[in-house]
Homo-oligomer: A and B are copies of this chain.
Amino acid sequence: MEKPYVVGIDIGGTNTVFGVVDARGSILYSGSIKTGKYAEIDDYVTALGQSLMQVIDQAGGPDKIKGVGVGAPNGNYFNGCIEFAPNLPWKGKIPLAQMISEKIGGIPVTLTNDANAAAIGEMTYGVARGMKDFIVITLGTGVGSGIVIGGNLVYGHDGFAGELGHVIVRRHNGRMCGCGRKGCLEAYTSATGVARTAREVLETSKENSILREMNPEEITSKDVYDAAVKGDKVALEIFEFTGNMLGEAFADFVAFSSPEAIILFGGLTKAGDLIMDPIKRSMDANMLKVFQGKTKLLFSQLKESDAAVLGASALGWESKEQVD
């Protein structure tokens, strides 16, 4: 009989969250441990293995689990390693998929980065069901992407494809990016990018704004959203600027893979039409004629608190194929 469940694990810098998931995308049993508590990777994997076995046993034991999927920063699908992840406590190249598998009776474990997990999640349980060609853009602390072409996630020859947060959107006088280069999409449209835009606009504009009541260094993208909802002109201008950058970049992405949809995922999507409308306007204005009006712009439909675990778990369904 086909094994009925998969396990998804989302590894973040603070928490590691996991759950047993069925074919409909319901999380049946879940748990979490503190990532940051474990300075040694061996201690972390031991603790994670014990907690995983608890939920696996609740689900009826290892025989019920088809596979385990892990979404982790800098996760490489090809070799199952986390490689030099700046936000995790363990340095160097860590064969995490294999280490986890050994702790849970050899259930196959597949690993990829968070944005790829989000894309597989959308395809398996979310708004991309039935789509063969789409791109997920994650708008959070950073900007990531998962690209699906012909029904398959794009990994590239080395497992690291899909770094669309690091295409250059401003060639001259671009903002410094965390990657060490200048003008990356992420430097403008991540949560920290939006906060930086807020400080720049407040400096250059004379418009009144609720945001002026705050210490500029402490303004977050959430504050900008709260102000925009109240109709604050400066906040709306910040979303306009951010949406414009995204729309320009998306038009170029479409020239590459001509996706059926671009799907937005992550914190910034809470802004709804405040961010969607300027992106749409900019995307239309910048699109090559042959692609105009063809690519849908959608929000993720995965419940946010569950999305990371669901996305990672979706990898588990592919376990068979990967043994080859």
Contact = CB atoms under 8 A, between A and B. Distances in A.
Interface residues of A, number: 44
A164 interface: yes
With most chain B CB atoms within 10 A of its CB, the pick from A162, A167, A251, A294 is: A167
A48 B150 CA distance: 34
Contacts of A133: 156-157, 161
Interface in A130-182: 131-133, 147, 149-150, 152, 154-164, 166-172, 179-181
A291 B288 CA distance: 28
With most chain B CB atoms within 10 A of its CB, the pick from A147, A149, A162, A294 is: A149
A168 B288 CA distance: 10
Interface string A281-294: 00000101111001
B256 A288 contact: no
B154 A152 contact: no
A255 interface: yes
- Per DSSP, chain A at the interface is loop
Contact of A166 (B132, B158, B288): B288
Contacts of A114: none
Contact of A257 (B156, B251, B258, B286): B156
A294 to B, nearest CB: 6
A259 interface: yes
A41 to B, nearest CB: 21
Interface in A240-298: 248, 251-253, 255-260, 286, 288-291, 294
A166 B257 contact: no
A256 B147 CA distance: 8
A181 B258 CA distance: 18
B248 A156 contact: no
With most chain B CB atoms within 10 A of its CB, the pick from A131, A132, A286 is: A286
B157 A256 contact: no
With most chain B CB atoms within 10 A of its CB, the pick from A159, A179, A252, A294 is: A252
A258 B116 CA distance: 14
A260 B78 CA distance: 15
Given A154-B149, A158-B294, A260-B157, A255 B164 contact: yes
B252 A157 contact: no
B259 A166 contact: no
Contacts of A257: 147, 154, 156, 161-162, 256
A156 B259 contact: yes
A159 B258 CA distance: 8
B171 A170 contact: yes
Nearest to A134: B157
A169 to B, nearest CB: 7
The 3 A-B pairs at the shortest CB distance, nearest first, are namely A156-B258, A161-B258, A157-B260
